[in-house]
Amino acid sequence: MRTAFGVETVRTAERELMARLPEGALMQRAAAGLAAACAELLGRVYGKRVVLLVGGGDNGGDALYAGARLARRGAGVTAVLLAPERAHEGGLKALRAAGGRVSAAAERDIAGADLVLDGIVGIGGKGGLRPAAAQLMGAVRESGALVVAVDLPSGVEADTGEVLGDAVRADATVTFGTYKPGLLIDPARERAGAVRLIDIGLGLPAVPELEALQYADVAALLPVPGASSDKYRRGVVGIAAGSARYPGAAVLAVAGALRSGAGAVRYVGPAADAVIARFPEALVHAGPPSRAGRVQAWVVGPGLGDDAHGREQLRDVLAADVPVLVDADGLRLADPEVVRARTAPTLLTPHAGEAAALLGVERSEVEAGRLAAVRRLAAEYRAAVLLKGATTLVAGPEGGPVRVNPTGTSWLATAGSGDVLAGLAGALLAAGLTAVDAGSVGAYLHGLAARLAAQGAPVGAQDVAAAIPAAWRDVRG
């Protein structure tokens, strides 16, 4: 599991550790890791030109000490001081002693750089880059130099992943002690490039603020049928989706569910002919969901429409005493009081627009603060919530760490891909995963399936569904 802690927690851990260590030791650990990472990226250090962008805090101090280490190994190191009167004194002295110098012509030095080290601002930053730093970014881009961010790409919000103005775009980020939420959540994540974590010995709490499943975590959570499993033990998932107008949503949700380890898939609704034509293995029913027979979980909402029939289906499913995944039209039609009053697990799967409607705020507010939005939704609806996006987030109703999905891909932004995810996560619910596990494992497999199906070219939702078994095999190694 990859875990992230917010700035306040990092500061507390840092204070405790610093009290036990000689002065400056922590910064030396950070700088040593940073210099080693830069050396690795450069291949050969001797003769390379390195420019340090140095702000007025300890982030700049890290850059200066790392620059001194690179200078000692034969690099030509130049520091651009963005707040000259506040630049880290010890770091500056170390750099000069190692043969580095302070730049007198920033843009010219940047133009000739092989590597630019971004030490403008780290966890002490608020808001986007200030004008002096923002102005240099054009030169950095044009130089073609490798850009390595110290701790975080400057200009991004460490705790939320927001990017409120100009921000550095790094090829790699070397971060200290722990991942910060901004390194795992878009849009900031995308600015960080490849992230490397340097252990500096911080003592952190047991429960992180954010966590990202890795291959091994997903593999451990995947349901695998045992020798004695019949279809009911493997989980039967019911799908109440589709309408005369949107039969395709039903087909795609069933497609996702059938590839996701369910023992059987029951479909209820007006798209039964379309479903059975494509998937003869599906069990189809015409009557209300409550009469369809035994299921271990329901998926309701994709393409449901908002006529009386759809509303009736939704009411019926929400009254069932099994886990329920509510998606798409289901989210629009659901009575918040009914959702809150449910005792079996509920998983809501909105995109930003649907989340905004559920919270009664503007979509832009959700997009700018996705972490806060998913937490608030889970608390207000007393449900697990999967907020779709470039980095999908999953929060549980009891608080605790928010899961962030690391396999997102822009190829998933295609019509119907949400229907596939609903079926997939619903099947995992039926197999007995908790709502948070079903949502986060579902999002993980869904993203991986899209990547495998896409291979760098556009894909449709059916291709994503068809690639779920490949994603499953990939995870299980």
447 has binding-site annotation: no
125 has binding-site annotation: yes
Which stretches within 82-235 are classed as H helix?
89-97, 106-111, 131-143, 188-192, 215-221, 231-234
Nearest Cα to Cα of residue 424 among 361, 471, 384, 377: 471
Shortest Å distance, C-beta 257 to K ion: 44
Shortest Å distance, C-beta 154 to K ion: 4
Quick check: 443 and 451 in contact, CB under 8 A?
A: no
Pairing between β-strand 210-212 and β-strand 2-4 as defined by DSSP bridges: antiparallel
Pairs from 83-88 (Cβ < 8 Å, separation ≥ 24): 83/54, 83/55, 83/56, 85/56, 86/56, 86/57, 87/54, 87/56, 87/60, 88/54, 88/57, 88/58, 88/60, 88/61, 88/64
175 has binding-site annotation: no
Q: Which of 71, 95, 123, 150 binds K ion (CB under 5 A)?
A: 150
**Choice between 113 and 158, CB closer to ligand NPW:** 158
- Rounded Cα distance between 181 and 13, Å, is 16
Q: Which of 62, 109, 118, 162 binds K ion (CB under 5 A)?
A: 118
What is the token pair recorded at 124? 């002490």
124 has binding-site annotation: yes
Pairing between β-strand 393-395 and β-strand 384-387 as defined by DSSP bridges: antiparallel
303 has binding-site annotation: yes
> 10 is in the binding site of which of ligand NPW, K ion, none (Cβ under 5 to 8 A by kind)?
ligand NPW
Shortest Å distance, C-beta 44 to K ion: 25
> 124 is in the binding site of which of ligand NPW, K ion, none (Cβ under 5 to 8 A by kind)?
ligand NPW
What is the token pair recorded at 366? 């959700």
59 has binding-site annotation: yes
68 has binding-site annotation: no
DSSP annotation of 179 reads B
What number of other Cβ atoms are within 10 A of residue 150's Cβ? 33
**Choice between 59 and 405, CB closer to ligand NPW:** 59
Cis peptide before 280 (omega within 30 of 0): no
Q: Which helix (H) or strand (E) holds 207?
A: none
229 has binding-site annotation: no
Residue nearest to ligand NPW (CB): 122
Shortest Å distance, C-beta 151 to K ion: 5
**Choice between 30 and 352, CB closer to ligand NPW:** 30
Contact positions vs ligand NPW (CB under 6 A): 10, 14, 26-27, 30, 55-59, 62, 120-127, 129-130, 150-151, 155, 176-177, 200, 202
E strands of 340-428, at which residues?
Answer: 346-348, 384-387, 393-395, 402-404
Shortest Å distance, C-beta 134 to K ion: 14
- Tokens 């610093």 found at: 18
Give the range of 41-49, 116-124, 289-297, 407-415 binding K ion by CB under 5 A: 116-124
Q: Is 154 in the site for K ion (CB under 5 A)?
A: yes
Q: What are phi and psi of 80, to 5 degrees?
A: -95, 115
Torsion from C-alpha of 459, 461, 466, 471, nearest 10 degrees: 80
> 118 is in the binding site of which of ligand NPW, K ion, none (Cβ under 5 to 8 A by kind)?
K ion
Shortest Å distance, C-beta 419 to ligand NPW: 41
Shortest Å distance, C-beta 422 to ligand NPW: 40
Q: Is 407 in the site for K ion (CB under 5 A)?
A: no
Residues in the annotated binding site: 58-62, 118, 122-128, 151, 154, 249, 303, 351, 388-392, 418-419
Residue numbering of the annotated binding site for K(+): 59, 118, 154
Binding residues for (6S)-NADPHX: 58-62, 122-128, 151, 249, 303, 351, 419
**Residue ranges for the binding site for AMP?**
388-392, 418
